[in-house]
Homo-oligomer: A and B are copies of this chain.
Amino acid sequence: MATPQARRGIVLFAHGSRDARWREPVEAVAARVAELAPDAAVRCAYLELATPDLAGAAGELARAGVGSIDIVPLFLGVGKHLREDLPRLLATLQQTHPGLVFRLRPAVGEMPEVVDQLARAALKN
């Protein structure tokens, strides 16, 4: 009999804003991820000005029993937030959850298929 495999966790990590409506597209992406991959456990997390933060979202996924967490930065540009803040947050996470595998994915703005889609969206009439 196969050992049941732990669920895969995914955190969509976005900048955050005081404005609750700012989060709607982030939550829409999470809903679409859940539709496309019903076996994955997906959460949103925010760098600042909104909750949960990355530690909160990862803690929730850990309690839900995931075996790994992919962190997907929903950032178009890659600056200090992703090059300095995020690796620091990730190092702390790994210490807090030594049994979990964390995978830091490229920022969506660095993915050629996203760049292509954004260009097509820009041209839509």
Q: Which residues of A contact B (CB under 8 A)?
A: 10, 12, 14-15, 17-19, 21-26, 28-29, 32-33, 35-37, 40, 42, 70, 72, 74-80, 83, 105, 107-111, 113-124
Contact = CB atoms under 8 A, between A and B. Distances in A.
Contact of A113 (B77, B110, B121): B121
17 contacts: A10-B122, A17-B77, A17-B80, A19-B77, A21-B79, A24-B77, A25-B109, A33-B122, A36-B120, A42-B122, A70-B122, A72-B122, A74-B76, A74-B118, A105-B124, A108-B122, A114-B121
The dominant DSSP class at the A interface is: helix
A85 to B, nearest CB: 12
Contacts of A25: 76-78, 107, 109-110, 115
A61 to B, nearest CB: 14
